[in-house]
Amino acid sequence: MSQQIFWIHGGNVFNSHKDYLEFLKTREATKEYFIGKNRWVHHLQADLGDGYEVFLPQMPCATWNAKYSEWKIWFEKSFPFLKDNLILAGGSLGGMFLAKYLSENDFPLKIKGAFLLAAPFDDKDKNINYTLGDFALPKSLEKFSTQCSKIFLYHSKDDPLVPFIDLEKYSKALPNAEKIIFEDKGHFKLKEFPEFVEKLKSIK
């Protein structure tokens, strides 16, 4: 039986439609936006090889104006295709989504492991320029801990988007989670990420 891995990407959140339109007007466009991205997650299936089944869903309105309530609906539509002992992973806002969902809801299947990569914990840091809207975490992440036998927190010290201190906030809320720290991986927008691939393969 193939090991299922379900990856949830990141996204942006805005307090109002006006803020969203202003973002679109002022956002610096790069060629990557128009021809597509080529990052490690896009060839994760090939890197893992036989014996794995990788899910890479496109979450609703994710890139520009994400809403937790919409993501929750779409995430739950995937459940009929999933099996016990799957691995859940999320990058940036996707990681925060998993932390919130699994802290507020009973997941219908056994989870072998959960990975949060560069996940924001809150939007209280005065140095950040984003908001998290309805993705805000509950006061306790205890239900998340009880539903996942293994939780891994990934963060790089040079992340230009999500403060490194957010890793410590997650670590305090999830004391049994394993921290995996990098010096120079930024926000994990990498073409290759062999360390993550090998870690996935090591989960038994």
Domain boundaries of the chain, sorted by first residue? 3-202
Kindly tell me if the per-residue pLDDT of 36 is higher than 80. no
Kindly tell me if the per-residue pLDDT of 131 is higher than 90. no
Model-level pTM? 0.92
Q: How much is the pLDDT for 63?
A: 67
Mean pLDDT (the chain) is: 93
Kindly tell me if the per-residue pLDDT of 130 is higher than 90. no
Kindly tell me if the per-residue pLDDT of 88 is higher than 90. yes
Burial code of 136-175, b = ≥16 C-beta within 10 A, e = fewer?
Answer: ebeeebebbbebbeebbbbbbeebeebbeebbebbbebbe
CATH code of domain 3-202: 3.40.50.1820
| pLDDT tens, residue by residue, 38-86 | 799 999 999 999 999 999 999 987 667 899 999 999 999 999 999 999 9
Q: How much is the pLDDT for 110?
A: 97
